[in-house]
Amino acid sequence: MRAKIGIMPSFDTERNKIEVNLSYAEAIEKAGGLPLVLPITSDKSLLEELIQEMDGFLISGGHDVNPALYGQPVLDCCQEICPRRDEQDYALIKRALELDKPLLAICRGAQMFNVVLGGTLYQDLPSQYIPPEAAACKTPLTHNQEKPYHIPVHAVTIMEGTRLHDCLGASGLRVNSIHHQGIRQLAPGAVAAAYAEDGLIEAIEVPGARMAMAVQWHPELMDGDASRRLFSLLVDSSRHSRNGQVI
């Protein structure tokens, strides 16, 4: 049996539509998993059943995270937010961590993952982010590239001793970058697993979890070994998540 991977979609409030780039499902399919796009629901017991039904989760990219979730006022530089998706992402990530079900969070998903764990975000990198003294690159990188999105635009350093380092078997990687928000204060309980050349955190993870990992780039839009390894880790970890049995 394939591991069921629940994909959190974006939600278009005006049109009452869920939307998700097919690349996420295709990446899970290629890794041997069963991709399932989740609905958005405000019914807590329904969400709990959906969570129980899944073996692992992929938290996709999307709108800006509501700064109220990390105790900040919404600044003008913050772009569109989606309260219904925020609510479900928050509840789902929290519950997946409690149940120790594998989770890979991407882009906005990574930002939300940091917020759920108690961290904060930059609401807008171009106007708020200043590289630290220790950064290799003192001028901020362009983190919001133009198409085509499969082309890498900046490097990341992968930290030794992390799950991400184990998974990729490399200390560096070139990645795409399609984000204007980013991780500010790293959440307690999480570790930074990758940094961009300008010092920005590009991946975080929770040590000791079956898999609780978040990357700021979009592996689902990039071909190559690194992307394949990330999705294989999600699917393979999820195959072991049902009562500790391999499914």
Judged by the rule CB under 5 A, the positions of this chain that interact with Mn ion are 143, 177
Do 120 and 177 touch, CB atoms closer than 8 A?
A: no
Selection from 67, 123, 107, 98 nearest residue 203 by Cα: 107
Q: For Mn ion, give the closer residue by CB, 177 or 237.
A: 177
The least CB distance from residue 198 to Mn ion, in Å, is 9
Q: Is 77 a catalytic residue?
A: no
Residue nearest to Mn ion (CB): 177
Contact status, residue 117 vs residue 176, Cβ threshold 8 Å: no
* Closest CB to Mn ion among residues 142, 171: 142
| Residue 31 or 203 having the CB closest to Mn ion | 203
User: Tokens 């085509």 correspond to what residue?
Assistant: 148
- When the beta carbons of 136 and 247 are compared against Mn ion, the nearer one is 136
Q: Retrieve residue 181's tokens.
A: 């928000």
Work out how close the CB of 229 gets to Mn ion at its nearest, in angstroms, rounded to a whole number.
19
Q: Tell me, yes or no, if 63 is annotated catalytic.
A: no
Q: Is 220 a catalytic residue?
A: yes
Q: What one-letter code names the amino acid at 240?
A: H
Q: What's the min distance (Å) between Cβ of 108 and Mn ion? A: 13
Annotated catalytic residue within 78, 82, 107, 167: 107
Give me the least distance between CB of 216 and Mn ion, in Å please: 5
The residues that are catalytic are: 107, 218, 220
